[in-house]
């Protein structure tokens, strides 16, 4: 194992340097920025349209007079800070059964209700998919304190977390999952197909003999795979840094509902699943590409491989929105769709356990594919080993 990793490191270092230090890498870095810029612009426009049409509100169950004071306080707050950043309020008349009214309001889609404020002003209670120390609760405390003439610190506002609200339903969470899934698919599509041609260089330059005599073929596969992953991550860092400004200016990320697992954990998982998706597909493409002898053959292979990726993406996409369905389970188990499925699941369901299991499962498949790829390379390209006849194997068994 030590020799394998040492050999992989030597090959990976050579490949990484050769890729990153070449002039063409600059074009590689610049290439995806164009669609990203256009995507960012259109996403920003789309987000603004969506914001103006369906902005979630806090439902205030109160008398017209009490609501009027609260609304006036909101307007004052909106003059102090940008109106876009201040929560919106909608009044609803109290009904005889407060519990039924709360459930009914939280299920409302028009307008989408983020939380319900009841018992205002004497025993104010805020219920919804919000955090007690979050922006919504904080702003409401300020408004209520202003409306009643109390200081913010003195104002009591009980906050109860409700699992679902119409502003944060599973469908909305699925949107976050879908966005991450699409980004993952897009970047992997761009990057992993490069691995198809990775071994052509060694084969056409006849370096393969030198390498095969010095290190296990697995080292060659692992080294190349991780070198390209490292180059891709370098590219991603550049693209994300450049894209971050766009996303921030167009509030692309802020317009997405908070994933169930939380943004920091979700973004971490997006990166980890990108790596795993890249390794899985990259190992497969390296294996397929290793069979090709010429650049022409690699080009011919590119199209079916791309279609294969689209198919896998389609399979994973069917799982979004119904993470507990059988098809979602199948997509999570099938190695090539597993990272895409699991990243969407991270948006829809809390908990780390399932991700630990999924990542271990995916890592196992990376190892299996690399092992099979190296064996196939030895058999078909280097023409190594005895001829195996399955019927003989069977009779021995």
Partner 1 sequence: MSTGPAVEAVDLVKDFGATRAVNGVSLTVPAGSIYGLLGPNGAGKTTTLRMLLGIIDPSSGTRRVLGRERPLESAQEIGYLPEERGLYPAMHARDAIAFMGALRGLPLREARRRGEVLLKEHGLSDWAKKPIRTLSKGMAQTVQLLGTIIHKPKLIVLDEPFSGLDAINQAKLEELIRREARAGATIIFSTHVIAHAERLCERVAIIAKGKVAFDGRVDEARARLRPIVRLTTRERDGPWRSAIPSGGHTEGNHFVFELPESGPEPLLKALIDGGAGIEALAIERPGLHDAFVAIAGESAAAAMAEEKPQ
CB of 388 to partner 1, least distance (A): 10
State the burial class of residue 393 (Cβ atoms within 10 Å of its Cβ: 0-12, 13-18, 19+): exposed
What gap in Å lies between CA 295 and CA 393, rounded to an integer? Answer: 36
Rule CB under 8 A: choose which of 64, 149, 264, 385 binds partner 1: 385
Nearer to partner 1, 140 or 227 (CB): 227
Strand ranges across the sheet with 113-118: 88-92, 57-61, 113-118, 125-128, 158-161
Judged by CB under 8 A, does residue 206 bind partner 1? yes
> Between 64 and 385, whose beta carbon lies closer to partner 1?
385
C-alpha count within 13 angstroms, C-beta hemisphere, residue 157: 29
Applying CB under 8 A, the span of 166-174, 203-211, 244-252, 323-331 interacting with partner 1 comes to 203-211
| Options 36-44, 142-150, 210-218, 278-286: segment touching partner 1 (CB under 8 A) | 210-218
For position 372 contacting partner 1 by CB under 8 A, the verdict is no
Q: Is residue 383 a contact point for partner 1 (CB under 8 A)?
A: yes
**Residue 370 engages partner 1 in binding (rule: CB under 8 A):** no
Residue 353, interface with partner 1 (CB under 8 A)?
Answer: no
| 387: contact with partner 1 by CB under 8 A | yes
Asked whether position 295 contacts partner 1 by CB under 8 A, the answer is: no
Smallest distance, partner 1 to C-beta of residue 41, A: 38
Q: How far is the CB of 222 from partner 1 (least distance, A)?
A: 14
Residues 6+ apart with CB under 8 A from 176: 256, 257, 258, 259, 266, 347
307-346 binders of partner 1 (CB under 8 A): none
113 versus 212: smaller Cβ distance to partner 1: 212
- Using CB under 8 A, pick the residue from 184, 215, 344, 369 that binds partner 1: 215
Stretch that binds partner 1, among 5-13, 79-87, 106-114, 239-247 (CB under 8 A): 5-13
Q: State yes or no: residue 201 binds partner 1 (CB under 8 A).
A: yes
CB of 350 to partner 1, least distance (A): 46
- What is the nearest approach in angstroms of partner 1 to the Cβ of residue 10? 5
Q: Which of 306, 324, 325, 384 binds partner 1 (CB under 8 A)?
A: 384
Cβ of residue 368: shortest distance to partner 1, in angstroms? Answer: 21
2 sits near partner 1 (criterion: CB under 8 A)? no
User: Which member of 75, 83, 156, 209 binds partner 1 (CB under 8 A)?
Assistant: 209
**Residues between 14 and 73 that touch partner 1 (CB under 8 A):** 14, 18, 22
Which residues in this chain contact partner 1 in the complex, by CB under 8 A?
A: 3, 6-7, 10-11, 13-14, 18, 22, 201-202, 205-216, 378, 382-387
């Amino acid at each position: 194992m030590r020799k394998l990793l040492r050999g992989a490191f030597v090959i990976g270092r050579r490949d990484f340097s050769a890729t990153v230090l070449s002039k063409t890498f600059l074009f590689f870095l610049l290439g995806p920025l164009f669609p990203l810029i256009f995507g960012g612009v259109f996403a920003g426009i789309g987000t603004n349209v969506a914001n103006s049409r369906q902005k979630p509100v806090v439902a205030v169950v109160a008398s017209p007079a009490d609501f009027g004071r609260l609304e006036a306080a909101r307007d004052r707050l909106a003059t102090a800070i940008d109106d876009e950043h201040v929560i919106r309020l909608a009044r609803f008349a109290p009904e005889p059964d407060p519990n039924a009214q709360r459930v009914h309001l939280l299920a409302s889609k028009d307008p989408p209700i983020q939380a319900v404020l009841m018992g205002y002003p004497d025993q104010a209670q805020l219920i919804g998919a919000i955090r007690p120390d979050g922006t919504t609760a904080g702003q409401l405390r300020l408004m209520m304190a202003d409306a009643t003439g109390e200081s913010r610190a003195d104002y009591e506002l009980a906050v109860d977390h409700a699992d679902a609200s119409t502003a944060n339903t599973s469908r909305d969470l699925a949107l976050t999952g879908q966005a991450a899934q699409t980004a993952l698919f897009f970047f992997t599509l761009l990057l992993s197909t490069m691995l198809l041609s990775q071994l052509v260089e060694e084969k056409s330059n006849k370096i393969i003999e030198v390498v095969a005599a010095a290190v296990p073929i697995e080292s060659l596969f692992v080294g190349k795979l991780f070198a390209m992953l490292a180059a891709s991550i370098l590219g991603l860092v550049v693209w994300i840094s450049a894209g971050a400004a766009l996303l921030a200016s167009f509030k692309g990320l802020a317009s997405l509902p908070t994933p169930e697992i939380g943004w920091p954990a979700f973004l971490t998982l997006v990166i980890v699943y990108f790596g795993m998706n890249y390794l899985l597909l990259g190992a497969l493409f390296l294996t397929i590409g290793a069979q090709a002898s010429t650049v022409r053959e690699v080009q011919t292979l590119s199209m079916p491989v791309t279609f294969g990726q689209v198919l896998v993406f389609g399979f994973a996409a069917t799982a979004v929105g119904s993470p507990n369905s059988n098809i979602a389970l199948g997509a999570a188990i099938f190695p090539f769709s597993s990272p895409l499925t699991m990243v969407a699941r991270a948006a829809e369901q809390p908990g780390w356990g399932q991700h630990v299991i999924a990542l271990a499962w995916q890592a196992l498949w990376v190892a299996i594919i690399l092992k099979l790829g190296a064996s196939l390379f030895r058999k078909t390209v280097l023409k190594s080993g005895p001829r195996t006849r399955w019927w003989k194997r069977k009779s021995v068994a």
